[in-house]
Amino acid sequence: MAATLAGRRLLLQRCAAAGGRWRLLGTAVEASSSAGGKEEEEGGGGGDEIYLKKPAAAVTTRDETSVAMPMSFMTGSVVGKRFYREATVRRADDGNGWSVMLDYRTLKSPAKRPLKLQSRTLAMAIAAEWEYQLACTALERVPLTRKKIIDNLMKKFHQDLVFCRSPDDNELTVGVYQRQKEKIDPILDWVNTQFGFKPVVYTSFFGGKQDEGLANAVETVLKNTTDFELASIDAMAAAAHSLVIPLAIFRGKLRIEQAIELIRLEEDHQVDRWGLVEGGHDVDIADLKVQMSSAVVFLLLSWQL
């Protein structure tokens, strides 16, 4: 419990380091278009950032504080199925801005007008909340399915991303191996310090088996979380293919950008070697940033009194 509280304080302190203005999300796609970028930066109106607190000059209107949410969405995680399969974003029909799509339906405002956003980042953040439904999950699904969620996380724990090591005897993978030694070994050392057991690394695609004491210690941490904390950790684990990385964020060891670097370590190595595929890698990066950042923002806000 003491470690959790210390990690919470550290995470909050890091996020508040900019005087309450918390930059948690950036989109590589938008950042790549330099036209007008300088003007947006100087004017403080850049569309590639999401802040927990608005600039002081911003004026909050009634429309900004009123949100309509259909009952089927609010209870969809507990009662029956939700009325859509996935939430995505696409260019608005007129080519001006971005729309949030619930399957083939365009998300609309309470006034029944298509919700059109100038920032792709903002559109993806909204889509992420519809996709993951963190607030509804924490309030309604987690209390009823805590054991199932924890069991599912622990089932995948032994195949955690940070435990998998590329072979060092192959010219195609030795570069990844070296990056893993540099970036992931400090996290493994942290796990050893936090939980008292040294993790086992493996090269098998099918994973290995961690010490039972380590697995029990990690499971105990999950059992001691609040519903909101568990919902956030679960969402981050799904995006990261790792439970260790969300726990390191939860306890203040990692920042979002560091976590994303670890998650994408192997793919970024391939991009450095072969080049970035526009409309592929850049979209994947933006999507990962949205998924991870939205869960961390939700976690941070759940700690605010």
pLDDT tens sequence across 213-254: 999 999 999 999 999 999 999 999 999 999 999 999 999 999
H and E: helices and strands count for the chain: 16, 6
**Architecture label for domain 136-303:** Orthogonal Bundle (1.10)
Q: What is the pTM of this model?
A: 0.66
Q: Domain residue spans in the chain?
A: 87-132, 136-303
Plot region of 14 (φ>0 → left; ψ -120 to 50 → alpha; else → beta): alpha
pLDDT of residue 61: 36
pLDDT of residue 241: 92
Structure tokens at 153: 């996380």
Which residues contact residue 295 at a Cβ distance below 8 angstroms, ignoring those fewer than 6 apart? 132, 134, 232, 233, 235, 236, 239, 246
Least confident of 89-93, 100-104, 118-122, 290-294: 118-122
Per DSSP, 199 falls in state P
| pLDDT confidence bin for 2, thresholds 50/70/90 | low
Radius of gyration of the chain (CA): 20
156-179 mean pLDDT: 87
pLDDT in tens, 249-266: 999 999 999 999 999 988
pLDDT in tens, 107-152: 988 788 888 888 887 788 788 778 767 777 788 888 989 999 999 9
Tell the CATH superfamily of the 87-132 domain.
ATP12-like (3.30.2180.10)
